[in-house]
Structures are given as C-alpha cells and as structure tokens.
Structure 1
Amino acid sequence: MSSADNSHLKAALHTFLGEVQGAVVLGAYGLASFAWLWPVRGILFAITNPNVMIGVRPAIVKSLVASAVIFGLLMFLTYLPQMAVLAIVSGPLAPILALLVVGAESAFLLALLARPLFLEPALTQVFDNTLRARGQGELVKAGKTRGKGATASVESALVKPLQILSTGGLVRYLVTLPVNMVPVLGTVLFVLYNGYTGGPGWHSRYFQLKGFSKNQRQTFVGRRRGEYTVFGAATLLFNYIPLVGFLFSFTNTIGAAMWAAQLEAQTNIINIPQPSVGKPVLGQTETS
C-alpha cells in the first residue's frame, strides 16, 4: 500500500472517529430535547388519523410481504452462523444480538430493493398528507408549485425524499454494520452513528418543499444536530423489529412530518409582523 493510500485511509478513519464521537455527544444532548419521541407520536397519529395512509396501502402490503420473505431467508441462512460468531465475543447475549443484526441486515436489503420500486413515492405522499393534517397545506401547495416552476433551482430539484435511504446512506449503514458484533456498546454506537448521519434525511421532503439551498439545509440541520441524531436513532430501533420493522418507515415518516409542521408553525409565529407600540395612530393625539 502506497503512502498516498495510507494517508487517505488515515483521513477516512479520522473522519469516521470524529463523527462517532460527535454522534455520542450530540445523542446525549439530544435526549433532553425529546425529539426521539416523534416516531412514537407518529405511530399514535397514524392510529388516530388513518386518512394520512390512504392511497399507500398497496405499498404497505408490499412492504410487509417483502419484509417477511427477506427476514425469513436471512434467519434461515445467516442467524445461526452469526450467533456462533457473536457467542465468542458476547457469550449469553449472542442470540439476542444475532437477532438484532439480522433485523439490521433485513432493513438494509429492504431499503435497497424497495426504495426504487414503490417505497419512496408512498412515503412522500404520507409526508405531505401529514403536513396537511397538521395545518400546513399551504406549505405543501407552495412547495409543489415551486417544484413545477421553470425557475426552480437544480439543487432543490435534486433533493430526493427520504434521503436516509439514498445510496450514500445505505453504504454508511452497510460499512458500520459489523460494529454490532461488539456486545451492547457496538449496537449503541451503530444506532447513534447512523442516527447522526441519517437523521436529517427524514426531513429531506420538508427541505424540498421549503426550497432550501444546500447551505440553508446545512445551517438548519446544524442548529438541530442533537435532535436529528436521537430522532434518527429512534427510527432505526423501530426498523430493527423483526417482520414489521419496515412498516415503521411509514410511521417514522409521519413523525418526521409532524415535527416539520411544528417547526414551520414556530417559524411562522416568529415571522409574523408585530404592531408598533407607543406610536400614536395618524390623526390621533395622545391624551394625558
């Protein structure tokens, strides 16, 4: 290996370790924000507002069928070998950790196979439906109008919904998957790191509707990095659940849209022009 290759490897390792450290610190900070509760709120909202899922039921059925098939195959082919390897380093925890690894692997394969076929449009529709249900219909309308306009920026048009399932996100997910082999701590680091790198992707549709530039997205995310880290970590934990884990992609999307609706409402309140105080109205005089 040449010195140039060594330098690139060291730089990549340094970047990775820095991101892991940042994920741990921001995760601890983000816990106090309760942003990790948005996926739970998404589940409750889906139960009490089933209309947001209208039109995507075929995609849900396909997700469940694909999840069952892939998880079953992975359990049959890889569970015992992985449990044997984990038993060497984790002892009695091996059966549980092996199940988590299989769940992570099945989530990866489902994202890889389902995204280009039927998942991405369905999740975009659910996100928009949730925004409308939370009183942000004008944001959806304005964003779609902007996207169809001839003056829409190329950068904005290239933003894909649910960027967490993009090629780059899947590569990072796959590369860090072996970290789960480290008992308990490895799984915690895996979840936090992928939450750190993938959490903001759940708001890609929101950024698209807002027409944010790359710099605007980076600034927006940078101010909320801790919240996005714990939100992303929570979504991963739900996706780990065997068989039905991928179904939570829909409720995670609902939770992300609810959070976006709250952020948008807060922004609108801040930006409302305030009436001037202490100045007499034209034609009136102050009275003592």
Structure 2
Amino acid sequence: MSNRIVHQAHEVVHEDLDKYKALLNDAAKSGSYMYPIKGIFYFLTHRELWKPLASKIVPYVGLYGSVIGPMFFFTYLPQLAIMVFVNGPLAVLTTVLLVLNESAAIVSIISKGFLLQDALLDTFDGTMLAKNQTQIVAKGREVKSGGDVIQRLGKALKSPFRRFSPKELIRYFVYLPLNFIPVVGTVLFLFIRGRARGDSVHDRYFQLKGWSEAKKSDWVGKHKGAYTGFGTVATLLEMVPVASILFSFTNTVGAALWAADIEAKDTEMTKTTAPELRDAARKAEE
C-alpha cells in the first residue's frame, strides 16, 4: 500500500514538473519577459509619462514609512530566529532583506488598490496614445486634442484595475515560507507570484477591447506562458525596496507596449516568434 502511494506521489510530481517545464518553455519562446525591461527604457525616454508618478511620490513615501516601521518592530526578530537555521551568521542581513521585501509587497498591494490606481490607469492609457492606439483608448475614456499624451487624457469612463483584495495579501504570506528554502524556494515563490500577476497584466486592454470575462480568461489561458513570463519579471522588479513604485509604473508602460504591439499586429501571440517580439519591443523605444 505504501509503495503504491509513493509511486502515485512520484507520478504527480513528475506531471507537475512537466507542466512547469512546458510553461517556462512557452514563456521563453514568447519573448514577453522583455516588455517590463522595455517599459523601463520607454518610460525614462518619455518625460510626459512621468507626471502620474510624480503626483504620487510624497503620499507613497508616507505609506511606505508607515508600513516598514511596524514590520521591523513586529516581524524582524521572529523571522531572524528561523533564518538563523537556514543562513547561519548571514541571517542578520538576509532577514533585513526579507522584511524589506515583505514591506514592499504589502505597500505594492495596498497602493495599487487605492493610492496609485488612477495614476497607473493614466500611465497605461497615455502609453497607448503614444503608440498611436487612440481609437482603442477612446473606448474607455475621453481623449482630448492638443498637448502631450497625458494632457490629452480626459475623464475615464471605466476603471478596470483591481481594487485591494485581502486574498492577495493572504496568498503572498501563504507562499512566503518558500523563501526559507535556499535558491530553489525563492525561485518557486517568484514563479508562483509571477503566474498570479500575469493574470491581471492586460485588464485595461481587455476592457478597452470590450471583452467578456469568459473571452479574457480564454485568451490568458491560451497564453499562460507568455503572461507568466511578463508577470515573473514584473514581480521581481517590484520586489526591489523603495524603487518598487518606479517599477510599478514602468511595468504598466511595458504592459501597454505589449498591448499596442498585439493590437498593431492583430495576430495570435502563439503565432508570434520570439525574434518578432524582440523586434517589436525594440521599436517600442522609438
């Protein structure tokens, strides 16, 4: 009986590993992981896109400070006690990094649901305008004539970015212990977070297209590898303490660049090769 259970467990693990390998292979082939990086360069070279971020810097710093203080006070020593068994003397440093990342994750989840929502919306729509997708943006908000891409943004008719959900925070801490496993655990944690993050990357784009929940789920399901690739890189960038707010905006720019390329090509991502996506990403800098 016990041998049968062990054999079944082995089969389950093998099947899951095969699924993850296929997902990683699809992510690599899609080239979608490049868009968060391209988003950084595009953001830095288009000053008009800085306006939404600039308006939120001060309140964001206040929020970050109100989170990081209590986190160190209440969680540093308990986690240090655990990390000592994993990292030995280095636990003093690794625990600091862990608390900083935890704080950044909490601030990111809360700020996106409340503080940054409108600013991220403007950033996505502004990038779409910059990529000549005016007709698409006009389906979700008023578009003015004259001025830069941010000045052209009028009243938003629909706001699709997800509000704060306690489940996101709970899910984060459920998988957090994976980080106690050196290297492998951290990679798994990042991958799991990336998969979840990928599901919401194009919420705004889907809404502008007028897609139903069923159609959106079907599209994301068919391109799970591509969205996981984007989500994993975006998650990694947003785990950087303090700079996470900057990467929240550059990732939004990257998502808009990707949406604009999909719209311009009007083709299935599964039919798009990695070199083609790389060429499209390079053009995004223009």
TM-score bin (small chain): 0.7 to 0.9
> What one-letter code is carried by the residue in structure 1 that aligns with 2:185?
G
Structure 2 CA distance for partners of 1:198 and 1:112, relative to 1, 3 Å: closer
Distance in 2 separating the partners of 1:225 and 1:180:
24
Alignment of 1:1-288 (within 5 A): 22-23=19-20, 25-91=22-88, 94-95=91-92, 97-144=94-141, 160-162=160-162, 166-267=165-266
- Contact 2:140 / 2:158 at 8 angstroms: preserved in 1? no
- Contact 2:101 / 2:241 at 8 angstroms: preserved in 1? no
Residue 252 of structure 1 and its aligned partner are, at CA, apart by 0.9
Identity among equivalent positions (%) equals 35
Structure 2 CA distance for partners of 1:268 and 1:113, relative to 1, 3 Å: closer
- Contact 1:43 / 1:255 at 8 angstroms: preserved in 2? yes
- Contact 1:123 / 1:250 at 8 angstroms: preserved in 2? yes
> What one-letter code is carried by the residue in structure 1 that aligns with 2:249?
F
* Partner SS state of residue 41, structure 2: helix
Specify the alignment match of 1:274 in structure 2.
none
Deviations 1:42-83 (A, max 9, x none): 111111002123244221332234334533543454334423
Larger Rg over CA atoms: 1
Distance in 2 separating the partners of 1:223 and 1:161:
22
Residue 183 of structure 1 and its aligned partner are, at CA, apart by 1.4
Deviations 1:240-288 (A, max 9, x none): 1122223311111111111111111111799xxxxxxxxxxxxxxxxxx
Residue 112 of structure 1 and its aligned partner are, at CA, apart by 4.3
Specify every segment of 5 or more residues in structure 1 that has no aligned partner in the other structure, as ranges. Answer: 1-14, 146-156, 271-288
Residue 171 of structure 1 and its aligned partner are, at CA, apart by 3.0
Deviates more, 1:27-36 or 1:181-190: 27-36
Residue 170 of structure 1 and its aligned partner are, at CA, apart by 3.2
Structure 2 CA distance for partners of 1:171 and 1:73, relative to 1, 3 Å: closer
* Partner SS state of residue 54, structure 1: helix
Deviates more, 1:107-116 or 1:92-101: 92-101
Deviations 1:219-251 (A, max 9, x none): 211221111112111111111112222331111
Distance in 2 separating the partners of 1:266 and 1:138:
15
Residue 99 of structure 1 and its aligned partner are, at CA, apart by 4.1
Specify every segment of 5 or more residues in structure 2 that has no aligned partner in the other structure, as ranges. Answer: 1-11, 143-156, 270-286
Structure 2 CA distance for partners of 1:60 and 1:203, relative to 1, 3 Å: farther
TM-score (norm 1): 0.73
Structure 2 CA distance for partners of 1:118 and 1:187, relative to 1, 3 Å: same
Aligned residues: 243
> What one-letter code is carried by the residue in structure 2 that aligns with 1:245?
S
Specify the alignment match of 2:283 in structure 1.
none
Distance in 2 separating the partners of 1:97 and 1:49:
36
Specify the alignment match of 2:282 in structure 1.
none
Structure 2 CA distance for partners of 1:19 and 1:110, relative to 1, 3 Å: farther
* Partner SS state of residue 114, structure 2: helix
Structure 2 CA distance for partners of 1:103 and 1:201, relative to 1, 3 Å: farther
- Contact 1:179 / 1:190 at 8 angstroms: preserved in 2? yes
Structure 2 CA distance for partners of 1:264 and 1:18, relative to 1, 3 Å: farther
* Partner SS state of residue 142, structure 1: coil
Residue 117 of structure 1 and its aligned partner are, at CA, apart by 3.2
RMSD of Structure 2 on Structure 1 (CA)? 3.1
Distance in 2 separating the partners of 1:119 and 1:113:
9
- Contact 1:90 / 1:182 at 8 angstroms: preserved in 2? no
